[in-house]
Amino acid sequence: MKKSNSEFKTAFVSEAGGELANNDYFAYIELDDYACYCLATGITDFKETPAAQIAVESFLMRFQDNPTMSRGSLVRYLEEVNNELLRGAKNPERLKASVLVIVSDYEKIRYMEAGNIRLRMYRQGKKIVNSRDMSLAGDLVANNETDTVLDKHEERHNLYAYLGKDGSFSPYVSDKVKLADGDILAFYTSGIWENVDEGEIDDIFNEAGNEPQESVDAIEDLLLSRQPDKLTSYTAAALFINKYYRDPEWEKRRARYIKIAIIVFIILLLLIIIGYIIYHFHQNKVEDLKRAEDETIEYIRAGNFVRAKESAETAQQLAQDLRYFDDEKILRNYLMVIDGIAAGDEAFKLKDYTSAFILYNTALDNTKNADNLGENYLRQKISQTEEYLFVTDFINLGYKAMDAGDLTKAESVFYMAREKAGALHDEGGRHAAMDALDSLYDKKAKMKADGEAKIKEAGAKGVADAMKKGDALMEQGDIEGAEKAYLEARAIANASGDRAARAEAGNSLQDVHKAKTEKKMEEQKSLDDKNAIYALATDALKNGDKAFTSGDYISAQIYYQTATEKFTALGEKKEVEQISVKLSLVGEKLNESQATANNAKKAEEDARNRYAGKDYQGAREAAMRAKELYILMSNKVKADEMTTLIETIDMDSVIDKNMY
């Protein structure tokens, strides 16, 4: 449909020039909805190369199967063509090519290049597209690093992108270019641009009519009139866009796109407005939260805890709504301090000074997690509460602690009661505190006496049990266990002051030390014997590894067998298993060495026989196989012989070709 409603005219000239064969190739296909124009030139030092034809036909085949202008698909097609050249090259130097591809949907064009084929696009006599050589010379000229013109620069064929390149392949892919009636695309190989100036080509197409053949013929006439000394293969092609395809549905689609764009714009505008309202509402809440937090802190500092609690509760609710969990945690700590102060103040008003004292101290501990807010107030209230606490309250607290077994706390509280009574000049309270302390010290003395008796009684039994345990372990031969038991017996005897038991435990320990010395001497002798055998086994293993590395597999086998015998005698199963694997590898290597030697000899005989029969290609391949095998065997002498044979084959091959 698109093709029949547009007018694309194509013409080209392509000749071998001064070469024996034409190494350029141009072809194109024009389908109903897409067209593809492909020009390639072979890169080779040989007389001819099929690289250009393979590249063009392979790319057009892929394009015809799935026509597209997608950048990714077109690059993939070129990569597949590049891989095809690499796979199909018996001689890598013969399948390399520069390529230029132009694709179109009859409304737009896109071009790709890898190499130095030139493309120029004209609109109303003005050049609007000019491709860039993917060569070192092209980069030097573009960066103003050379004064030599590109067409004469010695690095103009030093390409960094071309078909048949092994490794990274990065062709250039242009953006899409919208067509207009009368557009002209001219593309040509180095055989043209090395001998015809770009300005002359521009003049030809500025004066062009509607027929592309006249223009390409003019380029060829201009080229041949120069009579260049060394004219390579050359190709010049031209594509005249006399009429491009205009989509009859475009205006309808354009109107539909505009409507959709307006609807999307309105929706986006509404979303922005709603988002702004939500954001503004959120920010108001954030500001309210900050204000409530600041008020809470100020009220706490001012000692107005009723208003501080109201502000803190308001701020906490805002933090929950905003999901500001860190702020909520801090406010919760503030409220714990505020509630503690309020409860303490309430108890203080009711003259329950004991409860007030406890509540104030609890709140003081909580200020550590609330930025120490209210600390000064609490310390003042605690000090004030202490003044109002009766001495008897401190004494009662001390007796409760003593009944609970916390004698240290009881003593501290009794002392506080005595000091408070002295400060208040309360003699009765001071005597009561002193009586409480006397009661405490009597209880401590009784507990100490009872404890010492229990310790002495338990010590005698503990010494006897430990000595019995040590004797039993000595009989069983557990010297370490016996030593621990005797040490335990001596420690118990020391704690209980039983000198006789301590002396008995000491004698037993001397027997243990003597037994340990004898056992250590026996173990050392056994260890020395094992170490000597282990050293011999290790040396044999190391010598086996060295022999294996150097390719002396027979010596390696003998050393590994010796190491196996030694490690087996020592009971080292792991080492024996590892050496068994190495012995298997040695056996394989011995078999491989013999097989490699036989294959190398056969390959050498095959190479010499083929050489005698003037089958140079087959002789060279066989000689290369033989050389690789001799290198694998570390046989340098035979490898050098094969190198000499290969060089002789190559020389005779060249001589025979030149003779015929």
Of residues 219 and 600, which shows the higher confidence score? Answer: 219
Q: Which of 79, 93, 103, 230 is nearest to 163 (CA)?
A: 79
525 is a domain residue:
no
Give pLDDT tens digits for 519-559: 777 666 666 667 777 787 788 778 888 877 877 777 777 77
In this structure, the answer to whether residues 235 and 301 fall within a common structural domain is: no
Of residues 528 and 624, which shows the higher confidence score? Answer: 624
- DSSP per-residue letters across 225-248: HH--SS---EEEEEEEEEE----T
Q: Per the structure, how many domains does the chain have?
A: 3
In this structure, the answer to whether residues 297 and 207 fall within a common structural domain is: no
CATH number at residue 207: 3.60.40.10
In this structure, the answer to whether residues 606 and 653 fall within a common structural domain is: yes
- DSSP per-residue letters across 45-66: SSS--SHHHHHHHHHHHHHHHS
Q: What is the mean pLDDT of residues 116-123?
A: 95
| Mean pLDDT score across all residues of the chain | 83
Q: What is the mean pLDDT of residues 312-341?
A: 84
In this structure, the answer to whether residues 223 and 317 fall within a common structural domain is: no
Q: What is the mean pLDDT of residues 436-455?
A: 70
Residue 426, pLDDT above cutoff 60: no
From 393, 417, 447, the end of a domain falls on: 447
Distance CA 406, CA 62 (A): 94
In this structure, the answer to whether residues 342 and 421 fall within a common structural domain is: yes
305 is a domain residue:
yes
* Segment (H or E) for 638: helix 636-659
Q: What is the mean pLDDT of residues 55-73?
A: 96
Q: Which of 592, 624, 594 is nearest to 606 (CA)?
A: 624
From 418, 447, 476, the end of a domain falls on: 447
Non-local (6+) Cβ contacts of 267 within 8 A are: none
87 is a domain residue:
yes
Of residues 168 and 493, which shows the higher confidence score? Answer: 168
In this structure, the answer to whether residues 326 and 396 fall within a common structural domain is: yes
In this structure, the answer to whether residues 426 and 294 fall within a common structural domain is: yes
- DSSP 8-state class, residue 159: B
Q: Which residue range forms the structural domain that includes residue 614?
A: 594-659
Distance CA 352, CA 163 (A): 98
* Angle 297-300-302 from CA coordinates, rounded to 5°: 110
Give pLDDT tens digits for 200-242: 999 999 988 889 999 999 999 999 998 888 889 999 999 999 9
Distance CA 549, CA 526 (A): 35
The highest-confidence range among 112-116, 162-166, 295-299, 342-346, by mean pLDDT, is 112-116
In this structure, the answer to whether residues 241 and 289 fall within a common structural domain is: no
Helix, strand counts (H, E) of the chain: 20, 11
- DSSP per-residue letters across 426-489: -HHHHHHHHHHHHHHHHHHHHHHHHHHHHHHHHHHHHHHHHHHHHHHHHHHT-HHHHHHHHHHH
Strand, coil or helix: 612:
helix
Q: What pLDDT is recorded for position 61?
A: 96
Q: What is the CA radius of gyration of the chain?
A: 51
Judge if pTM exceeds 0.75: no
In this structure, the answer to whether residues 142 and 290 fall within a common structural domain is: no
365 is a domain residue:
yes
Q: What pLDDT is recorded for position 248?
A: 76
Give pLDDT tens digits for 412-423: 877 787 777 777
Give pLDDT tens digits for 493-515: 777 666 777 777 677 777 777 77
In this structure, the answer to whether residues 210 and 295 fall within a common structural domain is: no
Give pLDDT tens digits for 94-119: 789 999 999 999 999 999 999 999 99
**Per-residue confidence at 250, pLDDT binned at 50, 70, 90?**
low
Contact 117, 186 (CB under 8 A): no
